[in-house]
Structure 1
Amino acid sequence: MRFTEREMTEGLTGAAKLVAARGKADKKDEVWDGLTRFQRYQLLDSLGTQVLATLVALPDVDVEIGTRPTFTDAQVTEAVEGTLGDVGRLKRKMQLAARVALVKTVLEHVPPRQDPDALIIPDHL
């Protein structure tokens, strides 16, 4: 299973909304709507730099239609460790913990897998 562009975008946007609201899930849409387009871009760019390589490094898993991909804590931690880069030992522990939490948040916001053969017309069309 590889993430689609839509899955990565929605996962990253969901995590960015939560980060912008400083973890207050009930305020995330309100805070997000209050940001300018440039502020949203800056936040998405910063988070994307931290997690996109990790999402690509996660192992392939089978994902049933209508479900989200799931990974063990060990799989996420291993993928993060492989993409973290060189940092000091103490700093590495803190960054590893923070990055693992961020990747898990992104994964929670990945939408359920859709049937690639189903014709779905978005409401806005």
Structure 2
Amino acid sequence: MRLTEHELTVALTGVAKTVLASSRRGRKRGADIDQTWDEMDRFKRFKLLDGIGTQIFPVLTDLPDVEVPVGGRPTFTEQEIRESVERKLGEDIGRLRRAVVVKTRVTLVQTALSHLPPRAEGDLRQDG
């Protein structure tokens, strides 16, 4: 799947905020997640974004190219996402751990896709 830098940034940030909100720290504080995000220092944000990015970027770029109309978002079935996750996962982990990792990454990628902004005119235009 071809995505712009802006789309990837928005998707990654959306997933990071979702993960942060679901963490013990996010639930315990009950604070606005955007405020919590802004209060985090840059290194903590980087570590969170880096950890999530290494899990979802290979899968997002492995998804098949689909035509996305202006104002629309790409959509994929859970099976397409699962197959992409499994292709990118190494063979060196046990069956139970593999099942947990696949389920988690599928959820992370679905969350990333839900945070993608609507496609703008001219996005991914290929000139000459």
- Calculate the aligned-residue CA RMSD, in Å: 1.6
Matches within 5 A, 1:67-82: 67-82=72-87
Rounded to whole Å, the distance in 1 between the matches of 2:35 and 2:83 is 35
- The residue correspondences of 1:43-122 to structure 2 (distance < 5 A) are 43-86=48-91, 87-116=93-122
Deviation for aligned residue 1:29: 1.0
Structure 2 unaligned residues grouped into runs of 5+: 124-128
* Kept in 2: contact 1:61–1:69 (CA 8 A): yes
Secondary structure, counterpart of 2:22 in structure 1: coil
Kept in 2, the 8 Å contact 1:14–1:106? The answer is yes
Paired AA for residue 100 in structure 2 = M
Corresponding residue SS for 1:32: helix
Letter in 2 for 1:85: G
Q: How many residues align?
A: 116
Q: Which has the higher contact order (CA 8 A, sep 6+)?
A: 2
Distance 1:106 1:27 in 2: 20
TM-score (norm 2): 0.85
- 1:9 and 1:83 map into 2 onto residues whose CA distance is 21
1:82 Cα deviation after fit: 0.7
Residue 59 of structure 1 deviates from its aligned partner by 0.5
CA apart distance, 1:27: 3.1
Query: Runs of at least 4 residues of structure 1 off by over 6 A?
Result: none
1:21 aligns to what SS in structure 2?
Answer: helix
TM superposition score normalised by structure 1 = 0.87
The amino acid that maps onto 1:39 is K
Rounded Cα–Cα distance in structure 2 between residues aligned with 1:56 and 1:115: 21
Q: d(CA) in 1 for partners of 2:77 and 2:121?
A: 24
